[in-house]
Structure 1
Amino acid sequence: MHIAILAPSPVPYTIGGAEYLWWGLLETINAAGEHQADLIKIPSPDRSLGELIQSYRRFAELDLDHFDLVISTKYPAWMISHPNHVVYLQHKLRGLYDTYPAHLPTALPDAADLPAAARPLIERLANGPARREELPALWEELAALEAVDPALTEIPGPLVRAVVHYLDRIGLQPPAIQRYLAISENVTRRKDYFPVGVPVEVVHHPSHREPEPAMEVDSGDDNGNAVKDKPILFTASRLDSPKRLDLLIRAFRRIKADAELHIAGTGPVEAELQRLAAGDPRIRLLGWQSDAAIAEGYRRAAFVPFIPYDEDYGLITIEAMQVGRAVLTTTDAGGVNEFVVDGETGRSVEPTESALAAAMQDLLADPAATAAMGDAARAKVADIGWPQTVDALINPSAQRPRLVVATTFPVFPPMGGGPSRIYHLYRELSRWADITLVTLTGEASEAGTYPLGPGYREVRVAKSRRQRLQEQVMGRRLKASVDDIVAMDNPDATPALREALTAACQNADLVVASHHYLYPLIRSVWRGPLWYEAHNLEAEMKAAVLAPALEKGSAAARRALARVEAVERDCARDADCVLAVSAEEREALVDRYGIDRDKVLLAPNGTDTQAIAYTDPAQRRVNQQAYGVEGRFTALFMGSWHGPNIDAVWHIAGIAAACPGMDFLLMGNVCDAPLGELPPNCYRLGRVSEAEKRRWLATADCALNPMTSGAGSNLKLVEYAAAGLPVITTPFGNRGVGLKANIECLEGEVRLFPDILARLRAGEPHAGTQLVEKARRRVTDTYDWGVVAVVVREHLPLPAGTDWR
């Protein structure tokens, strides 16, 4: 492979741990000879918002597609778009993440208080999804900030923090990244460092300094003559505040032993440390030292103290242990404690002068025990080396399962509940498996192969003229949408679909029938493991769709419904695993088709909680003022053109008539259905852009879910809750999601909705504000697609040698 190690070049230029990591990877890859690597660096100043944005933009617009693999480790290099991008994360811009000053706010300023030029950006950061296609608009909005009050763009500050978090979410979001790795467990635990739910591999890398054999512990005079029994404590570090060398010096001054403390390095607090050390001849600040001198310092040391605060990794720990030296650290030192086991490979004590002084005294008092800890330390890091690190980065230890998912409609971009479920669920699963969607479209111009991310693609086949004619004939006869039934009954109507499915199934580990309509075609080309993804109990759903024809005694409708039920029964019984969207649907499938309950896996409809911004009530008031709807109480309903949603709109019409002082917003192509005349306070928004949808989710006062018919579960309910909207739902509409009544949602029959709305508007304590945070937490913990995917992942068939459990 041709491998690019992509990195920022700091401005002004300095050499630190990141540079040594990149050089080590580069040298090791090229020395092995199997692959060729290059280190590609772009100057990346970050002293102002303008510099930061330009640095992020340079990487976002960089084209390295002539490389087979790109490895990035540090911001903003991970902004590159590449089909095979591996992130080996060292750290983010820590001053805007884990070391962001506690006294500074994190909330964005109110858009209403800002100049007009800043408002679109504030809205995007507060409510917008972090997607790569949003970048052009984002660059324009950021450019407009140049004329805004400089105080708004101070670093650190809430606006710059929000901008960098937004950009990092775009760069690191799955499935844009093929694999996620980190240099330490400590890095993986930091808040907002990785997308929720992604698997992160920890790979400890070595130092650039090659370990040399240890020597007898002694010191020396200025002429190089050995001075026995005068042990040295040696450490090497950049002299800055997070390394807490001031604490180390104060602790050392407490001990009475005839020992010396040698500190190698330079940095901004050097003068302060010199003042602290003054008067104690045992303490020597050595200044800059060569690699050879530092290696010598480790070998001569009795042990190595290293007490930084929340260190990413701590190469000094590795360097010391590789030459057999015990390490003294503190319990809050972060990555250092992945190697220092208190009493075994060194000491890890509370970060106080007294605790550190006592530990130093103990280590000096028992040289044999300290030496034994050093031996254990060497063994602890024996397997850390450059070949092992490179191998972990470019040679995944396990083969990814290969899944084929077949359905009768196009998936991307997701429009409606079924495509949305398929796209998001399998996008999440593509973190661990290679997934091919095989789909049908009625538009020849839409046919083709669509890469949806690393290891994730949609192969979309245009329906043949024969299949389209069959759909028209059957649809006119039954006066219903029957495209899926035609595909089920005529598996050879579109030969190109059979060809595409056959090709996709070669070397597959699993095929999923997403809906059962392509089951006859699947089983004619694939005899391996099969799953059935039951979006609904389809026999019941199609009974509702065909109800008008059935009520007129249509024999064709009865035959079609019987066929739907028979094929669904065969598919459910044949499948090794059935995915059900709710506990109720699981029981219905078990009861109707007599399948084993143990093979039915609950995989509820979810949402991308990271893409749906949570808006608290205070921000809603600000948004309402900005959009000119303050003073009007607005209730939102979203739905597709689907029988149960049309029923819900008719219910809303009755509710609106009873609540003339409120506005009712109808969103989605349910507005295209023949709804008849609606009350004047019902507004048909129709099918809207994602941006407008996000705007109303962040502006409306509440969301309605007056469902009284249908099957499956309501994805809209999850979206409402994720956005922070108080939800009013019927018990039937709450099925499959199960928000707790009067704790996470407001629940009642349709006739009670006007009274519930009135109480919500009046601000009764239990009726709004207290619900939304609990509902959001419930959705995030249970219905985020990342969470759902992890549950499904555990049941996937694994190729030989694969084990993620």
Structure 2
Amino acid sequence: MKRMLVLNHFPTVYPPTSGGTLRYFHIYQELSNYYDVTLLSQTFSHKGGLFTYSPTFREYKAEKDSNYHKVVQKLQHNELSYEFGLIIQTELSKHPTLLKKQFDSLYDSADLIVHESPFLLQYDQYFGKDSKLRIYNSHNHEYKLAHQIWKNNLARGYLPVLSNLEKKLVRGADLVFSTSEDEKNSLITMYNTNPSKIMVAPNGIQPSEWLPRTKSSNKKPTAFFIGADYPPNIESVEYIINHLADSCPEIQFVVAGGCCTPFANSSKPNVRLLGRVRHKQKLRLLAEADFAINPMFTGAGVNLKTLEFLSAGLPLFSTEFGVRGLNLTPMKHYIHTEKNNFADTLKRFTSDKNVLHGVSLNGQKYINRHYSWKNIAKQIQVELKKLTSN
């Protein structure tokens, strides 16, 4: 079994519940059927150490050390800010951190090295200099996303650094995976790289994990949204609280995930902010809600929450941006709406059982057929096998 070493700027959690942790865990859990997989992750708030998920799948979580405090002091910022959390990671990769020492100790035995983002590329000092295969499993076109959502002027000063790192990674990797055709074309266009080495490996789901949908016992129609503590999700929650909740008092809005954190003091009577939830609770929430909403206006990649909403059998109200990259058909797989008419669309269709049933059934069938993690990992394995055999 060939050994695969995967480097990432955030750890997974088990079981994963939202955001990039879903992709990070499930793809490599499936690939561990073909490779001996070691994840090497930076963690600032989670417990460090070695976590074994199976005989061929494990994760080293490297905690912050004294170098972290040096970098924070230099930047005069901390990781509580989304963009500075990423900048701190990039700056730390220039120092002899615990993660750097762990990477060096695992390097020799690795047959191929996978980067999940450009932020830690500088840890890989032999990138472009040795004969080991390098893979870039991109979650987003990171520069494009950062240019869109980084607001702080000091942070934006790091955009050229990010662009250069991502350019080096895209051009220097032997194989690149993107989450959609749009992301693939964006990377090709910006970095003028060989199109034949960029493949699509979309985000996915595990169709077997959902609980059976229960007959609604909700006193009000209940809309569900979940998201990590991530600026585009926070923007969506702000819209739910300050616009949809007021415009649709007859609907109960349930919001889960780290995206709730900035709104701890909100007290709208028809909004329940649950904060971070465990996996089992998330499954119950998906089974009990009447429909899902995805008012996304910014971001990159493919929304994992969209895949989960549809795969779990929830009727979905979403902006076009919220379903990007999935080739969904409005009024067949989901109900399309935008910022200026979201509330009106909810009022129009939430009581139309036939429409809701139809889109939920079609959406579920489509996603489960095309986007299971198992099938996605098989496709990745085919491409990796071609690469390693050459």
TM score, norm. by length of structure 1: 0.46
Tell me, in whole angstroms, the C-alpha distance in 1 between the residues paired with 2:227 and 2:76.
23
In the alignment, what sits opposite 2:207?
Answer: 609
Tell me, in whole angstroms, the C-alpha distance in 2 between the residues paired with 1:426 and 1:667.
26
In the alignment, what sits opposite 1:542?
Answer: 146
Alpha carbons of structure 1 residues 594 and 567: separation in structure 2 relative to 1, 3 Å: same
- What is the DSSP-based 3-state SS (H/G/I as helix, E as strand, rest coil) of the residue aligned with 1:728? strand
Q: Is structure 2 residue 244 aligned with structure 1 residue 658?
A: no
Q: CA deviation at 1:463?
A: 2.1
- What is the DSSP-based 3-state SS (H/G/I as helix, E as strand, rest coil) of the residue aligned with 2:124? helix
In the alignment, what sits opposite 2:350?
Answer: 761
Greater RCO structure (CA 8 Å; 6+ sep): 2
List aligned pairs for 1:260-299, cutoff 5 A: none
In the alignment, what sits opposite 1:530?
Answer: 134
Q: CA deviation at 1:606?
A: 1.1
Correspondence for 2:21 among 409, 419, 444: 419
Q: Which letter maps to 2:189? A: D
Contact 1:463 1:494 in 2 (8 A): no
Q: Is structure 2 residue 62 aligned with structure 1 residue 464?
A: no
In the alignment, what sits opposite 2:376?
Answer: 788
In the alignment, what sits opposite 1:561?
Answer: 159
Contact 1:702 1:726 in 2 (8 A): yes
Q: CA deviation at 1:758?
A: 2.4
Q: Which letter maps to 2:308? A: E
Q: CA deviation at 1:558?
A: 4.1
Tell me, in whole angstroms, the C-alpha distance in 2 between the residues paired with 1:418 and 1:479.
18
Correspondence for 1:573 among 166, 171, 174: 171
Q: Is structure 2 residue 194 aligned with structure 1 residue 596?
A: yes
Contact 2:11 2:42 in 1 (8 A): yes
Tell me, in whole angstroms, the C-alpha distance in 1 between the residues paired with 2:144 and 2:387.
37
Tell me, in whole angstroms, the C-alpha distance in 1 between the residues paired with 2:255 and 2:78.
31
- What is the DSSP-based 3-state SS (H/G/I as helix, E as strand, rest coil) of the residue aligned with 2:246? helix
Q: CA deviation at 1:713?
A: 1.4
Deviations 1:92-122 (A, max 9, x none): xxxxxxxxxxxxxxxxxxxxxxxxxxxxxxx
In the alignment, what sits opposite 1:731?
Answer: 320
Tell me, in whole angstroms, the C-alpha distance in 2 between the residues paired with 1:658 and 1:570.
48
Correspondence for 2:107 among 505, 522, 526: 505
Alpha carbons of structure 1 residues 469 and 542: separation in structure 2 relative to 1, 3 Å: farther
In the alignment, what sits opposite 1:586?
Answer: 184
Q: CA deviation at 1:664?
A: 0.7
Deviations 1:298-322 (A, max 9, x none): xxxxxxxxxxxxxxxxxxxxxxxxx
Q: Which letter maps to 1:510? A: L
- What is the DSSP-based 3-state SS (H/G/I as helix, E as strand, rest coil) of the residue aligned with 2:292? strand
Tell me, in whole angstroms, the C-alpha distance in 2 between the residues paired with 1:531 and 1:492.
21
Deviations 1:5-48 (A, max 9, x none): xxxxxxxxxxxxxxxxxxxxxxxxxxxxxxxxxxxxxxxxxxxx
In the alignment, what sits opposite 2:363?
Answer: 775
Tell me, in whole angstroms, the C-alpha distance in 2 between the residues paired with 1:677 and 1:620.
30
In the alignment, what sits opposite 1:446?
Answer: 47
Contact 1:698 1:723 in 2 (8 A): yes
Tell me, in whole angstroms, the C-alpha distance in 1 between the residues paired with 2:344 and 2:190.
38
Contact 1:646 1:675 in 2 (8 A): no
Correspondence for 2:2 among 367, 379, 401: 401
Q: CA deviation at 1:475?
A: 5.8
Deviations 1:186-216 (A, max 9, x none): xxxxxxxxxxxxxxxxxxxxxxxxxxxxxxx
Alpha carbons of structure 1 residues 478 and 509: separation in structure 2 relative to 1, 3 Å: closer
Q: CA deviation at 1:404?
A: 0.7
Q: CA deviation at 1:578?
A: 1.1
Question: Which of 1 and 2 has greater Rg?
Answer: 1
- What is the DSSP-based 3-state SS (H/G/I as helix, E as strand, rest coil) of the residue aligned with 1:683? strand
Q: CA deviation at 1:678?
A: 5.7
Alpha carbons of structure 1 residues 755 and 492: separation in structure 2 relative to 1, 3 Å: closer
Alpha carbons of structure 1 residues 546 and 475: separation in structure 2 relative to 1, 3 Å: farther
Correspondence for 2:301 among 712, 716, 719: 712
Q: CA deviation at 1:508?
A: 2.1
Contact 2:23 2:204 in 1 (8 A): yes
Tell me, in whole angstroms, the C-alpha distance in 1 between the residues paired with 2:159 and 2:387.
39
List aligned pairs for 1:624-773, cutoff 5 A: 624=217, 629=218, 631-653=219-241, 654-674=243-263, 677=266, 679-763=268-352, 765=354, 767-773=355-361
Contact 1:723 1:776 in 2 (8 A): yes
Tell me, in whole angstroms, the C-alpha distance in 1 between the residues paired with 2:368 and 2:65.
42
Alpha carbons of structure 1 residues 506 and 415: separation in structure 2 relative to 1, 3 Å: farther
Deviations 1:146-186 (A, max 9, x none): xxxxxxxxxxxxxxxxxxxxxxxxxxxxxxxxxxxxxxxxx
Deviations 1:41-99 (A, max 9, x none): xxxxxxxxxxxxxxxxxxxxxxxxxxxxxxxxxxxxxxxxxxxxxxxxxxxxxxxxxxx
Deviations 1:425-456 (A, max 9, x none): 1001111111111111225x822211111211
Q: Is structure 2 residue 89 aligned with structure 1 residue 487?
A: yes
Deviations 1:739-785 (A, max 9, x none): 221111111212222232223322253x2101222211211111111
**Mind listing any 5+ residue stretches in structure 1 that lack a counterpart?**
1-399
Alpha carbons of structure 1 residues 761 and 415: separation in structure 2 relative to 1, 3 Å: closer
Alpha carbons of structure 1 residues 675 and 795: separation in structure 2 relative to 1, 3 Å: same
Correspondence for 2:56 among 443, 455, 475: 455
Q: Between Structure 1 and Structure 2, how many residues are aligned?
A: 385
Q: Which letter maps to 2:146? A: K
- What is the DSSP-based 3-state SS (H/G/I as helix, E as strand, rest coil) of the residue aligned with 1:733? helix
Tell me, in whole angstroms, the C-alpha distance in 1 between the residues paired with 2:157 and 2:249.
47
Q: CA deviation at 1:472?
A: 5.5
Q: CA deviation at 1:661?
A: 0.9
Alpha carbons of structure 1 residues 415 and 517: separation in structure 2 relative to 1, 3 Å: farther
Q: Which letter maps to 2:379? A: V
Identity %: 28
TM score, norm. by length of structure 2: 0.91
Tell me, in whole angstroms, the C-alpha distance in 2 between the residues paired with 1:459 and 1:692.
27
Alpha carbons of structure 1 residues 458 and 478: separation in structure 2 relative to 1, 3 Å: closer
Alpha carbons of structure 1 residues 727 and 415: separation in structure 2 relative to 1, 3 Å: closer
Tell me, in whole angstroms, the C-alpha distance in 2 between the residues paired with 1:673 and 1:404.
35
In the alignment, what sits opposite 1:200?
Answer: none
**Mind listing any 5+ residue stretches in structure 2 that lack a counterpart?**
none
- What is the DSSP-based 3-state SS (H/G/I as helix, E as strand, rest coil) of the residue aligned with 1:789? helix
- What is the DSSP-based 3-state SS (H/G/I as helix, E as strand, rest coil) of the residue aligned with 2:27? helix
- What is the DSSP-based 3-state SS (H/G/I as helix, E as strand, rest coil) of the residue aligned with 2:300? coil
Contact 2:67 2:97 in 1 (8 A): no
Contact 1:491 1:521 in 2 (8 A): yes
Tell me, in whole angstroms, the C-alpha distance in 1 between the residues paired with 2:78 and 2:192.
33
Deviations 1:541-600 (A, max 9, x none): 3234531x22xxx4xx34311101111111111011111111211111111111122211
Tell me, in whole angstroms, the C-alpha distance in 2 between the residues paired with 1:559 and 1:447.
31
Alpha carbons of structure 1 residues 470 and 416: separation in structure 2 relative to 1, 3 Å: farther
Q: Which letter maps to 1:404? A: L
Contact 2:224 2:253 in 1 (8 A): yes
Q: CA deviation at 1:674?
A: 4.4
Contact 2:114 2:137 in 1 (8 A): yes
Tell me, in whole angstroms, the C-alpha distance in 1 between the residues paired with 2:265 and 2:163.
33
